[in-house]
Structure 1
Amino acid sequence: MASLPLLLPLHADPGNQPPPLTPERLLTAWTFEPWVVAALVLMVGLYLWGVRRLAVRGDHWPPGRTLAWCVGGAGTMAIALLSALGTYDTVLFSVHMVQHILLSMVAPVLMAVGAPITLLLRNLGALGRRRVVAVLHSWPAKVLTWPPLATALMIANPYLLYMTGLYPLTLSNEWLHAWIHVHFVITGCLYFWPLLGLDPMPTRLPYYLRMLLIFITLPFHAFLGVIIMGSPELIAEDWYLAFNRAWPPSPVEDQNLAGGIMWGAGDLISLVILAVFFVQWFQHSQREAARIDRQLDREERLAARAAASGYDAGKTPGQPPADEEHA
């Protein structure tokens, strides 16, 4: 088997192995997963339909948001699940870790920039908007999107996955394997969407608290990466050794690489988001300062008019100015 055919359905296991991963196959070894393709088509199709409805009635929708959702968010998930990453995610721990980072951190951030809830609200009538807002402010939505809880989930989930027997189960069970991908995306959205604050959310934190939550998350991901790299035992050892691969990296090297990806990529993405928060905070401060200046100017004009009106009202009609009266 010289090369992996394009769009070949595959859930790799020790009895159904893909060929060795080469630079060529990194670009061509795509996997066809019907449920993933259907979900991505639905995700992009509904968004573009909403954008078109706005355009038909003459409303503007920023093209950058459309690109962020359709190309950024959906494209990142397609690469994570359908490219060679999806083909080899059960063969190499390092490939799975790249997939994990893309699904839990990159795709949710780009999807948040697309502001889908705002797009939905602008396409609904008054009754529909009230219903969506009511759902957003319901107690389940408030609990699920409460930033401290979402932060705790973002921190705890990788530890529960890799430090328990759950991860080997996701490798051997196809349904659990698919669910863990969905779980990565949902957890990332619950964590990043309230922090980025581009869509209406039940809880809107000030920028310094958003940055604090990012700072809290950073060391936990880095520490987990170090644990994976320094672990004397292989994670999911029986599964990976059963492949009996003759091509690199070795299982030990692969696990070290996976830990390094968790450590480095997680920190890098978090630092980029911190930089975005700094820019947003600065822009918000500039807008707030401009608003206060406009308010003060308006109050000064109103006070001047009130003083002028009081002066005019205090004069008797036909009364000459004070200097003429003394003359």
Structure 2
Amino acid sequence: MYEWNFEPGLIANLALIAGGYALCVTGPLRRFFPGSAPPTPVQVRLFYVGWVVLFIALASPIDSLASYLLTMHMLQHLLLAMVAPPFLLLGLPRWVLRPIMRVPGAYPVGSFLTNPVVVFFAFNAVFALWHVPAYYDLALRDERIHILEHVMFFVVGVLSWWPICSPMDELPSAHPLMQTAYLFFMSLPTTIIGALIAFAEAPLYPFYALRPRLWGVSLGDDQQLAGLIMWVPGSLIYFAVLTVVFIRWLNREDGDELRLEVRG
């Protein structure tokens, strides 16, 4: 119940992410990337913060507890889709993914997949679909489906943060005003889904009704708290980043106006 998840495939993939970064970004393979330069210490720290969040979400007891508490499963989903991806993206130097653009067709596909409108609908469709009770319970009962669910959350999570913190000049971040609108609308579906779960009068996920109750938390309280976790922290993440983006944009606009006045 409180076990760490050291499943070989999971650990191999986590090690590949951390090892690939160490070799290609901070290590000896960097010289094979055109235009490469040493990453800043902040970039390295941000990437490894994202990696640690990913490790905690998938390998810590949060993963095993998610089989008993909807609250823990919801927390796991937020870490996978909304917390780890932006840190990982911010930790990537702008040159590291550039070779991908040499692949025929990579640019139009990448441009489509990172379009704010496309990723808005893709992320929220995936997020909503996997919280439909039938699919949610299926993922909990079948480990292969559960892995697919987590992979999809992480992939659409990365894409959803691309318009905010793109690591590539070829597929840049959106304009700050677009980012502000995008982050506002991204907060709405998690708010709606979280509220529906929190205020549901009957248990939504039969799987948890058959599991032993932990820490004296009832089935109803667990479901309500899980909905609140999606609703409140999920929305606050977007609003916190929205605030930062908007303030930085205002400061830059004020700085540009001041420079124009000085030159005039």
For Structure 1 versus Structure 2, the TM-score category normalised by the shorter chain is 0.7 to 0.9
What is aligned with 1:269? 237
1:194, distance to aligned residue in structure 2 (A): 2.1
What is aligned with 2:130? 161
Report the more deviating stretch, 244-253 or 172-181. Answer: 244-253
Letter in 1 for 2:204: I
What is aligned with 1:10? none
Contact 1:194–1:201 (CA<8 Å) still a contact in 2?
no
Give the whole-Å Cα distance in 2 for the aligned partners of 1:242 and 1:59.
Answer: 54
1:116, distance to aligned residue in structure 2 (A): 5.0
Contact 1:222–1:267 (CA<8 Å) still a contact in 2?
yes
What is aligned with 2:83? 106
Give the whole-Å Cα distance in 2 for the aligned partners of 1:291 and 1:33.
Answer: 57
Distance 1:181 1:291, change over 3 A: farther
Q: Tell me the SS of whatever aligns to 2:95.
A: helix
Q: Tell me the SS of whatever aligns to 1:101.
A: helix
Give the whole-Å Cα distance in 2 for the aligned partners of 1:110 and 1:73.
Answer: 5
What is aligned with 1:131? 102
Structure 2 residue runs of 5 or longer lacking an equivalent are: none
What is aligned with 2:27? 52
1:289, distance to aligned residue in structure 2 (A): 5.5
Give the whole-Å Cα distance in 1 for the aligned partners of 2:113 and 2:182.
Answer: 16
Structure 1 residue runs of 5 or longer lacking an equivalent are: 1-17, 19-24, 122-127, 298-327
> In the alignment, does 2:228 pair up with 1:260?
yes
Letter in 1 for 2:182: L
Give the whole-Å Cα distance in 2 for the aligned partners of 1:208 and 1:69.
Answer: 26
Q: Tell me the SS of whatever aligns to 1:191.
A: helix
Letter in 2 for 1:101: L
1:146, distance to aligned residue in structure 2 (A): 1.3
Q: Tell me the SS of whatever aligns to 1:60.
A: coil
Give the whole-Å Cα distance in 2 for the aligned partners of 1:62 and 1:55.
Answer: 16
Aligned residues: 260
Distance 1:259 1:58, change over 3 A: closer
- Which has the higher relative contact order, 1 or 2, with Cα contacts under 8 A spaced 6 or more apart? 2
Distance 1:69 1:246, change over 3 A: closer
Letter in 2 for 1:67: R
User: Residues 198-277 of structure 1 correspond to what in structure 2 (within 5 A)?
Assistant: 198-202=167-171, 204-237=173-206, 239-245=207-213, 247-277=215-245
Distance 1:190 1:120, change over 3 A: closer
Q: Sequence identity, in percent?
A: 27
Q: Which structure: larger Rg?
A: 1
Q: CA RMSD in A?
A: 2.8
Contact 1:229–1:256 (CA<8 Å) still a contact in 2?
yes
Contact 2:53–2:79 (CA<8 Å) still a contact in 1?
yes
